[in-house]
Each structure stands twice: as C-alpha cells, then as structure tokens.
Amino acid sequence: MKVTVKYFASIREAIGPGSEQRETRATTLGDLRDELIALGGAHADSLARGKAVRLALNQVMCQESAALTDGAEVAFFPPVTGG
C-alpha cells in the first residue's frame, strides 16, 4: 500500500524532507516506524526505539497499534514542538 509520511520539528530537521510518499508492507503505525528505522541513517536515529516519538494517523493522535490503510497520512513528531 502507499502512504504519505510527514515529519515535524526536530525529526524533520534530521531527516530532511517534510513529507514523502512511501510504499509499505506495514499493517500498523509501529510496523511502519520499524520499516523506517531499518532504513538506517537519519531515519534510524530520529525514530529509534527508546526515543519519545508521537504519531498521528490521518491527523488524529494514535498508538503504534493503529491499523494503516492505503492512502493514509502518517505523522511523526517529538512530544513537544514549538511554533
């Protein structure tokens, strides 16, 4: 399936682009996070397990167990972001 992944605040600064379209086999937000971590580099550093990362699915805050659907928008951001 294809999803849009958006990055905010310090995660965006580390990864670079603010958003990307991504093909995924992930079925949950947690699976997608693990796929991104497996890319290595800035993705692995910014989204690493043990780091506080908030997730949203279609602009609604969610747990990592939330199910992904084709065309979904996923956002990753640190717990505190400034404006």
Q: What is the pLDDT of residue 53?
A: 95
> 40 burial class (0-12, 13-18, 19+ CB within 10 angstroms)?
exposed
Q: Identify whether the C-beta of residue 78 lies closer than 8 Å to the C-beta of residue 14.
A: no
One digit per residue, the tens of pLDDT, for the chain of length 83 reads: 999 999 999 999 999 989 999 999 999 999 999 999 999 999 999 999 999 999 999 999 999 999 999 999 999 999 875 55
Flag whether the pTM goes above 0.85.
Answer: yes
Q: What is the pLDDT of residue 80?
A: 73
What would the CATH number be for the domain defined by 2-77? 3.10.20.30
* Alpha-carbon distances of 62 from 41, 57, 66, 74, rounded to whole Å: 25, 6, 6, 10
Residue type, 72: A
CA-to-CA distance for 33 and 54, rounded, in angstroms? 11
